[in-house]
Structure 1
Amino acid sequence: MMSLQYSYAVSANPVSHDGNSLHVLFAGESQTEPLHALGPKIYDYYLLHYIESGHGLFRTEQHTFELSEGSCFLIHPGQLVSYVSDDEHPWRYRWTAFIGQEAQQRVEASGFVSNHSVFTSTKKQSIIPMSIASMQEAFYSKKESAHMVSLGHLYLILAEAQDNLSSQTRLTGTKSQVQRTVKQMILYMSTQFAHPVSIEQMCDSLGYNRAYLSRIFKKETGLSPITYLLKLRIDKSRQLLRERPELSIEQIASSVGLTDALYFSRQFRRFCNLSPSAYRNQTGSHL
């Protein structure tokens, strides 16, 4: 076995937590000794490790993972865990801890859940070890800006985790991938309806064939993408007709991405059985 020099270094954030919505507590690195072990124990913060080399085991209450170079594991607050380095090829890893009111939301948005706390990076050169090293360097500087620097690197780490965890989901769950794609379509239409966008533009943006997207969208929602987008625009126009009496019908039509006022009026009547003017008069009388 090749002789390894044991090492351990950690640096803490010079800026105190003070209730920040998201806060990195510390960052560190270690070349562990053979059979170096921690736990079973629980932590009151999120603790993320990235393995640069070596082998070892990470255990949660439900699972045991054999992890090596390129693997990353996240310990959740209150989770009983233990981990141990291999006796012949012990881990060299880096780690960072974080906390805050938004921490759980950010973790879940990245794809980390109780059964997805581990992934292996698909990138040839992961940014995670470099980001953790940059956190350490910032903390060593003792500058007030270290807090913002650490948050920037934490977001980069979570972004890479999201890329990896979403690719794992694509490989293991076709249904969840379809649902995620439909959610992306709904998000796209919800944020772009005020512009004269088309379904073709949405398909190009998402990188899928129109026929495929139309098929899965109709199956999941019961509506075609064209009908959903039009309904979204009409629903928003109803709100504007009620709340913005100073706007003309033409201005409202334009505000929901329909530049042809006559087409807008025709579609409005189709969904509401009233013209826009009649709808405004009717709802205005009840205010």
Structure 2
Amino acid sequence: MSILPDHSLYAIGMNPSPGAHDLTILFSGEGIPVPRHKIGPAIHDYCLIHTVTDGEGVFECAGRVYPCKAGDTFIILPGVLFSYQAGDRNPWHYHWVAFQEKGAPLLLADMGITAARPVIRCEDPEELKELKSMYNRLRLGFNQSDYPRLEDLQGSAWLRLLLHKLAMLNQQHLPSREGEVADIERGVRQAERLISTQYHQQLSIGQLASTLGYHRAHLSKAFKQHTGLSPMQYLMKVRMEKAKSLMRTSFSIQEIASSVGFNDALYFSKLFRKWTGMTPSEYRSGPAKG
């Protein structure tokens, strides 16, 4: 039953306790608007994803028009002008989810979604059925218990699964060159994350390349192209910046050296001085550092 006069079906689930997470779901729903029902032109400050499960309509984003039918997913990006309108003979039935993400443009770019490529195609009825099930679990999971924060956690989990599914569908339709570029960029980002979390380990470029499934020379070249640093230079930067922050604590120089991946405190001190222009003791006894 619809609560809106311009919809024959409108159902929505609001997150009762949006968390302070990197990925925060706001609401999810489904609807069947009347023929030619239109939203926009408008701009949102959050991301809104619609998946069409029946019927047809038109989505406009950044000045381009995209006819959409069952199996199509269109993504409204934060800060991008959009509008969408149901078909006049067979208005669409769609499911949607809205969320906020601190790095939304980067997250969506990882999925292959940009203002120039805001639509994902799904041609397999079984995969579309799976998407519909995910949306239903999102919407129906809210306001069902006495633990709203846990509903938020559950909703975020289903949202991540939905985004993963859409990303996998999108990869199937990216031009081969875009897929190659995305693969290289993904490998570099994986290497960055690996270094940023495992800097205390005895890492080498060979280990990084082997772990990520890339040839050593290929990874080194791509990493420097994207970051301006070699993997080992990046590792040194992470280690030294972490060491500088640990200098504000009561840990000994030996403990700090060990914490950032150096078993030899003297060698660490030599590298630290080269990096900062001061020995660890001089840095620690000086004014508070930014």
TM over 0.5: yes
Please tell me whether Structure 1 or Structure 2 has the larger radius of gyration of its CA atoms.
1
1:110 maps to: 107
SS in structure 1 opposite 2:63?
coil
Q: C-alpha offsets along residues 241-272 of structure 1, whole Å, 9 cap, x if unaligned?
A: x43464143x2321111224455455456x34
**CA-CA distance at 1:141 after TM superposition:** 4.6
- CA distance in 1: counterparts of 2:18 and 2:231, whole angstroms: 46
Alignment partners' CA distance in 2, 1:26 and 1:105: 19
The answer on whether the counterparts of 1:59 and 1:81 sit within 8 Å (CA) in structure 2 is yes
Counterpart of 1:48 in structure 2: which amino acid?
I
- Corresponding position of 2:94: 93
Q: Does 1:191 align with 2:197?
A: yes
Q: Specify whether residues 54 and 256 from structure 1 end up closer, same or farther in structure 2 by C-alpha distance, changes over 3 A only.
A: same
Residues in 2 aligned to 1:177 and 1:121: alpha-carbon distance in whole angstroms: 21
1:66-90 Cα offsets, whole Å, 9 max, x none, are 3334321123577441223374x76
* TM-aligned CA deviation for residue 133 of structure 1: 1.3
**Deviation digits for residues 112-133 of structure 1 (CA, Å, limit 9, x no counterpart):** 5433432224886254311111
1:252 paired to 2:256: yes
- Aligned partner of residue 213 in structure 1, secondary structure: helix
Q: Which runs of 4+ in 1 moved over 6 A?
A: 16-21
Q: Look up the equivalent residue of 2:193 and give its one-letter code.
A: L
Instruction: Look up the match of 2:231.
Output: 225
- Unaligned ranges ≥5, structure 1: 1-5
What CA distance in whole angstroms lies between the structure 2 residues aligned with 1:229 and 1:183? 13
Aligned pair in 2 of structure 1 residues 205, 170: CA closer, same or farther (>3 Å)?
Answer: farther
**Measured at CA, do residues 144 and 213 of structure 1 come closer, stay the same or move farther in structure 2, by a change above 3 Å?**
same
TM-score normalised to the size of structure 2? 0.69
- Size of the aligned set, in residue pairs, is 268
Q: TM-score, normalised by structure 1?
A: 0.70
For structure 2, the 5+ residue unaligned runs are 1-6
Give the equivalent residue in structure 1 for 2:283: 283
Deviates more, 1:141-150 or 1:199-208: 141-150
User: How big is the shift at 1:216?
Assistant: 1.7
Task: Confirm or deny that 1:202 pairs with 2:208.
Answer: yes
Match of 2:30 in 1: 28
Counterpart for residue 36 of structure 2: 37
SS at match of 1:37: coil
Aligned-residue offset at 1:213:
0.5
Does structure 1 residue 160 correspond to structure 2 residue 165?
yes
For the residues of structure 1 that align with 2:285 and 2:16, how far apart are their CA atoms?
57
Give the 5 Å matches for 1:44-55.
Answer: 46-55=47-56
Q: Which of 208, 211, 215 is matched with 2:217 structurally?
A: 211
Q: CA RMSD in A?
A: 4.1
C-alpha deviation, 1:279, in angstroms: 0.7
- Asked whether the equivalents of residues 120 and 169 of structure 2 are also in contact (C-alpha less than 8 Å), the reply is yes
Q: Which moved more, 1:122-131 or 1:111-120?
A: 122-131
